[in-house]
């Protein structure tokens, strides 16, 4: 592996480094985005659970009044239902109470649609449950548009409480409800003493909006980092790789033609400029030495020719 990397060109190593950073960054952001989605959903679950548990304690206080003989049970039920009818939070969020009748529950109290009270919740418009979870731990189990109140009673079976998701229209400011359906999350908790189920729901389509806001922010930051890496790679390519390639081209040109013109030593700054200046000086010294050697050889040849043209006289006997 090390040998393979050593054989790669500098430019290839740079782009490989950028690709590695990109892959790691994308994987990290995808992991973080999944955690963000879980966190947002978990915050909604916690909010709902705390609200319903608070209202559940209201029922417990009325039940205690019954046990202490301060209220008859029927009177306590009516007063508890009316007290919960008045409780609201957020923009239009509310609490309702249904029972555990089989096969379909009956509505005990609904603050916004009182016409449902006392009736079995078997209308087709309630067949919109998409998933449920018993208790506060574990994953959601998918549902194929089951009756949402039946799903709620199934969810509370093992643990006494649970969550149900379903699609539901939103109330409009001018009255009525929207034609479009939106995802909604409800938490329900059983009140065993009276066989009631207290619940509340909140729309969670805003989770998607918040999720994508976070995703866009992360993508923007990741894009900025990639742009910075790209500019850094371009800078290194321009100041290191390209001069090295030019240097290699110069060497190849000098090998083909020793008299190839040399670049100006000051044309390249930094360490590469110092390397180029040293190389140019080396070539100039070599050319000077070659010229001096050529001149010395020519002088020796001239002297040799002069000696051969005027031979020395031999002495007389």
Integer Cα distance of 304 and 209 in angstroms: 97
Integer Cα distance of 198 and 66 in angstroms: 19
Q: Dump pLDDT digits (tens) for 81-90.
A: 999 999 999 8
Buried b or exposed e, range 15-28, using 16+ CB within 10 angstroms: eeeeeeeeeebeee
Residue 216 CB-density burial (10 A; 0-12 exposed, 13-18 middle, 19+ buried): exposed
**CATH class as words, domain 9-213:** alpha beta
Helix (H) or strand (E) holding 9: none
What pLDDT, on a 0 to 100 scale, did the predictor assign at position 40?
80
What pLDDT, on a 0 to 100 scale, did the predictor assign at position 144?
87
**Is the Cβ–Cβ distance between 148 and 128 less than 8 Å?**
yes
What pLDDT, on a 0 to 100 scale, did the predictor assign at position 5?
59
Neighbours of 191 (CB within 10 A): 21
Integer Cα distance of 163 and 6 in angstroms: 57
Cα-based distances in Å from 270 to 194, 228, 273, 284: 85, 22, 5, 21
Integer Cα distance of 12 and 3 in angstroms: 14
What pLDDT, on a 0 to 100 scale, did the predictor assign at position 244?
73
Q: Give me the helices (H) in the chain, please.
A: 2-7, 10-67, 73-85, 148-155, 205-236, 242-256, 270-309
Integer Cα distance of 255 and 74 in angstroms: 108
Structure tokens at 257: 């033609």
Integer Cα distance of 163 and 134 in angstroms: 7
DSSP state of 140: P
Residue with tokens 């418009």: 125
Neighbours of 247 (CB within 10 A): 16
**Is the Cβ–Cβ distance between 117 and 109 less than 8 Å?**
yes
- 212 — phi, psi (to 5°)? -75, -25
**Is the Cβ–Cβ distance between 234 and 226 less than 8 Å?**
no
Query: Which residues are paired to 196 by β-bridges?
Result: 99, 191
Q: Dump pLDDT digits (tens) for 195-207.
A: 999 999 998 887 7
**Is the Cβ–Cβ distance between 244 and 229 less than 8 Å?**
no
What pLDDT, on a 0 to 100 scale, did the predictor assign at position 310?
55
The model scores a pTM over 0.75: no
Question: How confident is the chain (317 residues) per 10-residue block, as mean pLDDT?
Answer: 65 75 74 72 90 95 95 95 93 92 96 93 95 91 93 93 93 79 94 96 82 76 80 75 73 79 64 72 81 86 78 50
The domain limits of the chain are 9-213
Residue 220 CB-density burial (10 A; 0-12 exposed, 13-18 middle, 19+ buried): exposed
What pLDDT, on a 0 to 100 scale, did the predictor assign at position 317?
47
């Amino acid at each position: 592996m090390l040998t393979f990397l050593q054989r790669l060109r500098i430019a290839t190593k740079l782009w490989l480094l950028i690709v590695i950073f990109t892959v790691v960054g994308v994987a990290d952001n995808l992991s973080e985005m999944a955690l963000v989605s879980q966190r947002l959903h978990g915050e909604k679950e916690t909010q709902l659970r705390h609200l319903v548990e608070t209202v559940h304690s209201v029922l417990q206080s009325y039940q205690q009044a019954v046990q202490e003989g301060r209220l008859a049970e029927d009177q306590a039920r009516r007063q508890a239902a009316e007290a919960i009818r008045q409780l609201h939070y957020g923009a239009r969020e509310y609490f309702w109470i249904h029972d555990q009748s089989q096969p379909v529950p009956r509505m005990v109290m609904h603050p916004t649609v009182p016409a449902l009270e006392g009736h079995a919740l078997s209308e087709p418009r309630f067949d919109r449950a998409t998933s449920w979870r018993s208790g506060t731990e574990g994953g959601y189990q998918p549902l194929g548009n089951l009756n949402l109140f039946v799903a709620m009673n199934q969810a509370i079976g093992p643990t006494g409480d649970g969550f149900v998701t379903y699609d539901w229209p939103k109330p409009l400011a001018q009255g009525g409800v929207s034609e479009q359906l939106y995802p909604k999350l409800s938490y329900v908790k059983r009140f065993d003493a009276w066989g009631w189920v207290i619940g509340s729901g909140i729309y969670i389509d805003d989770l998607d909006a918040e999720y994508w806001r976070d995703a866009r922010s992360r993508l923007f930051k990741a894009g900025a980092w990639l742009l910075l890496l790209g500019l850094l790679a371009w800078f290194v390519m321009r100041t290191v790789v390209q001069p090295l390639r030019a240097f290699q081209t110069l060497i190849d040109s000098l090998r083909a033609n020793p008299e190839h013109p040399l670049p100006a030593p000051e044309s390249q700054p930094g360490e590469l400029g110092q390397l180029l200046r040293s190389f140019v000086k080396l070539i100039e010294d070599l050319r000077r030495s070659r010229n001096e050697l050529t001149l010395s050889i020519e002088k020796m040849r001239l002297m040799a020719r002069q000696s051969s043209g005027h031979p020395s006289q031999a002495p007389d006997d």
